[in-house]
Structure 1
Amino acid sequence: MKLMILKNELNEAIQQVAKASSSRPAIPILGGIKMDVTHQGVTLTASDTDISIQSFIPVELGDKVAARIDKPGSVVLPAKFFVEIIKKLPANEVEIEVQQQFQTMIRSGSTDIQMVGLDPEEFPVLPAIELHEAFTMSGDLLKMMIRQTTIAASTNEQTPVLTGVLWNLHDGQFKFVATDRHRLASRTAQVDTDSEHRFANIVVAARTLGELSRLIPDQNAQVEIVVTDNQILFKVGRVLFYSRLLDGTYPDTTKIIPQAYKTELVLDTKTLIEAIDRAYLMSREERTNIVRLMTLDDGSIEISSSSSELGRVTEQLTPVSYEGEPLRIAFNSKYMLDTLKVLDSEQLFIGFNGAMSPITIKPNDHDHSLHLILPYRTTS
């Protein structure tokens, strides 16, 4: 195998795929990046068996020659060193040549590097998924849905299915749900699909979605998505992102979503975030994150937190509207801030059904998002 390739194109591609290489591989090959070179271009692949990312660099990109292929072939190179060294090479072009026993020479400018390569035959084979079965959605919308739901996914591996986000697609309505049993996040969107694109109760790991989100460009990207029995494939430009679906049955969360409220508040989002952020500083020192909210007789609300060592923070807010019963409630301010910061609305509706029922938070101007937070039971 021998080729000359533009450093910037190679660097960008290996940065993308390296996210899937294992930092502590059970077998050495999973800590590598596979390089497949044909006369059409260069394919780079990394995999930790749960997720796999593949990026393709064609020989020609627009009006420039991205790679000159002298001899096709394949090799697996150690990801960590490969990523770092390509980034730091001095010249705009990189020559790569694989010799006997996968010894790999990398030359750029006056730099000459010899790397020990691995046998590409030992690298995991990617699942066969047909892209013609894909549906397409806006990358911006997908990133927003990921950001608004993964905050509620569990980080406890003892219940693996809760470390993912539940996906349902039916008649063009795409719905994400995540919960760690202390909070819940839900986001729906309408996507342009035909009737054959539907699936129910598939669970995609939140970690997978976080990595995917970082791969999607910020503007006008389209993402193609294919779901199979146990795998999901995302295509973003020249990048393919494969992930295994999580096993297990996701709990039915529909029964816990309130249909009516005893107390209803509408608040300015920015004002509420700033008030809870200040209260959070005090509650964080106490390592409880407990912040209290109570309604006052004059129609305002009070937000407070206290620390036995530092003191107390109290402030009053005037809601846009307040209806229903008086209320005193305590909640985890970290969970509340996580939620408030991902909601895309200037005003929020917050519904309560007493001190021990879930708090409902949703935008006041649309019903695409819904978040629940369980309150704290406190003695005071």
Structure 2
Amino acid sequence: MKLEIVQNEFMKYWSMAERVTGTKSTMATLASVLCVADETGVMLNSTDLKTTIRVKAEGVTVLEPGKAILPLKVVGELFKKIAVSPFTVEVDNEKGTISAGRSHYSFTTYNVGDFPDLPSPRAAEEFTRVSAGELSRVLAEGGIAGAPNEDFPKYLSGGLMQIAGGELRVVATDGRRLSLSKTVIENADAASSAREMLLPLKSLEEYQRILTSFAPDQEVEVLQDGAVTYFNMPGVQYSVRCIDSKFPNYERILSDTSTTQMQAERVGFMQALDRINIVVGDNSRVVILTLSPGAGMELSGRAPEIGEANESVDASISGEPLKVAFNVGYLMAGIKAFHGSDVTLAFNGAEGQMMITRPGGTDFIYMLMPIKLKSMDASETAGES
């Protein structure tokens, strides 16, 4: 195999493949990219056994067809740092050479037969079709409340992708909060039975990054065969192994009732919380919201032996007056995640669930449980004694 590579163009596709490799695995072939070159072009393949990508590269010319496993540790780093473009890569009998102007580098590769078998969508059925822009949005908003690093229960590290009521929904939870984002699927049968699958949040986060490389109106075909989900776009196939676990019935815990309602400008609210977090982020991590109908919102945070922070934020408030406390990081995450200029918060007293939504919309919900003020006051008193 022999290739001529234009660095700036090619590295976009190499990076997609590189991020899906199993760099922490003891299998050397998982920390590599399988390159297949023929008369149609160059296909880059990589996997960590849970997630797999096949991407057709641009910025590369096939001088001699063939297959080769290219190790990231040497070849990948050289691809990034070579100062001459274009350059050539040649592999023959598991021995490789990179030639860039007057510089030459040699490397050892692996037997192509040692690369793991990759999943195939031949037996998969269509799950849905959705635009890249909408899929990126629901993945970003719907996955924000999950716990990607939690191993048990398994569903905490996953995002539920569900087709129900003519909508694509993405839902995640870490047990203390829940996020839900949805989009209408064109030509979907709203009366058809629900279909769902649970996918690793880390894999969904990586795919969201890939989606940003495509036009928002680019259609994504989603296929499913029971064990593996496939996301297909021109030149890129991304597949993810499903999590074998049952996601909780999230609809049972969502409530439409509220005692206090508030609407505020999202960026200003976020900036005020960020400043509060400077004081409390490494200590109590608690922000207190004092809501007074007709008088706006006051934010406060206190960290023993560090200091206090107080902010006033313009807001439209209706319902009952309320004083309520939240983990500032969790509250910021929900407000930061969704797309929109204003944010609506609906409260159920000082100890009931709080819901963040877009004004006048139900396509995004972020539910967060408050911190009990009595327990917080007790912990602060203990810290001062």
TM over 0.5: yes
Corresponding residue to 1:321 among 300, 308, 317: 317
Report the CA distance between 1:302 and its aligned residue.
2.0
Corresponding residue to 2:92 among 87, 99, 103: 99
User: Residue in 1 aligned with 2:381?
Assistant: none
Change in 2 beyond 3 A, CA 1:73/1:12: same
Change in 2 beyond 3 A, CA 1:276/1:67: same
The 2-side partners of 1:354 and 1:57 are apart by: 55
Q: Is 1:352 matched with 2:347?
A: yes
Change in 2 beyond 3 A, CA 1:346/1:68: closer
User: Residue in 2 aligned with 1:137?
Assistant: 130
The 2-side partners of 1:50 and 1:370 are apart by: 29
Change in 2 beyond 3 A, CA 1:352/1:33: same
Corresponding residue to 1:67 among 61, 64, 74: 61
Q: How does 1:166-185 map to 2 (within 5 A)?
A: 166-170=160-164, 172-185=166-179
User: Residue in 1 aligned with 2:152?
Assistant: 158
Corresponding residue to 1:125 among 103, 117, 122: 117
Q: Is 1:191 matched with 2:191?
A: no
Q: How does 1:1-380 map to 2 (within 5 A)?
A: 1-57=1-57, 66-70=60-64, 72-100=65-93, 102-130=94-122, 133=126, 135-154=128-147, 155-170=149-164, 172-195=166-189, 200-216=195-211, 217=213, 219-220=215-216, 221-285=218-282, 287-296=283-292, 299-323=295-319, 325-379=320-374, 380=377
Deviation string, structure 1 residues 279-313 (Cα, Å, up to 9, x no partner) = 2222114x221011123476433211112223322
Change in 2 beyond 3 A, CA 1:330/1:9: same
Report the CA distance between 1:157 and its aligned residue.
1.8
Q: Percent identity of the aligned residues? A: 21
Amino acid of the structure 2 residue aligned with 1:145: V
Amino acid of the structure 2 residue aligned with 1:38: D
CA RMSD, 1 decimal: 2.4
Deviation string, structure 1 residues 76-104 (Cα, Å, up to 9, x no partner) = 1212322221122343333232223x111
The 1-side partners of 2:130 and 2:313 are apart by: 40
Change in 2 beyond 3 A, CA 1:88/1:278: closer
Change in 2 beyond 3 A, CA 1:357/1:36: same
Change in 2 beyond 3 A, CA 1:316/1:105: closer
Change in 2 beyond 3 A, CA 1:338/1:135: same
Conserved 8 A contact 2:289-2:300: yes
The 1-side partners of 2:307 and 2:8 are apart by: 54
Query: Secondary structure, in 3 states, of the residue corresponding to 2:155?
Result: helix
Deviation string, structure 1 residues 192-244 (Cα, Å, up to 9, x no partner) = 25559986231111111111111121533332221220111112331211111
The 2-side partners of 1:297 and 1:67 are apart by: 66
The 1-side partners of 2:350 and 2:299 are apart by: 15
Residues matched between the structures, number: 370
The 2-side partners of 1:12 and 1:317 are apart by: 42
Query: Secondary structure, in 3 states, of the residue corresponding to 1:151?
Result: coil
Unmatched runs of 5 consecutive residues or more in structure 1: none
Conserved 8 A contact 2:90-2:98: yes
Conserved 8 A contact 1:291-1:331: yes
The 1-side partners of 2:142 and 2:340 are apart by: 16
The 2-side partners of 1:257 and 1:211 are apart by: 29
Amino acid of the structure 1 residue aligned with 2:372: R
Amino acid of the structure 1 residue aligned with 2:315: P
The 2-side partners of 1:39 and 1:18 are apart by: 23
Bigger shift: residues 27-36 or 199-208: 199-208
Deviation string, structure 1 residues 149-185 (Cα, Å, up to 9, x no partner) = 2221113222222111111113531111111011111
The 2-side partners of 1:134 and 1:250 are apart by: 18
Report the CA distance between 1:15 and its aligned residue.
1.3
The 2-side partners of 1:251 and 1:135 are apart by: 22
The 2-side partners of 1:310 and 1:4 are apart by: 59
Change in 2 beyond 3 A, CA 1:6/1:134: farther
Conserved 8 A contact 1:4-1:94: yes
TM-score (normalised: structure 2): 0.89
TM-score (normalised: structure 1): 0.90
Deviation string, structure 1 residues 90-149 (Cα, Å, up to 9, x no partner) = 43333232223x111222222211110101111111111048847432212111112112
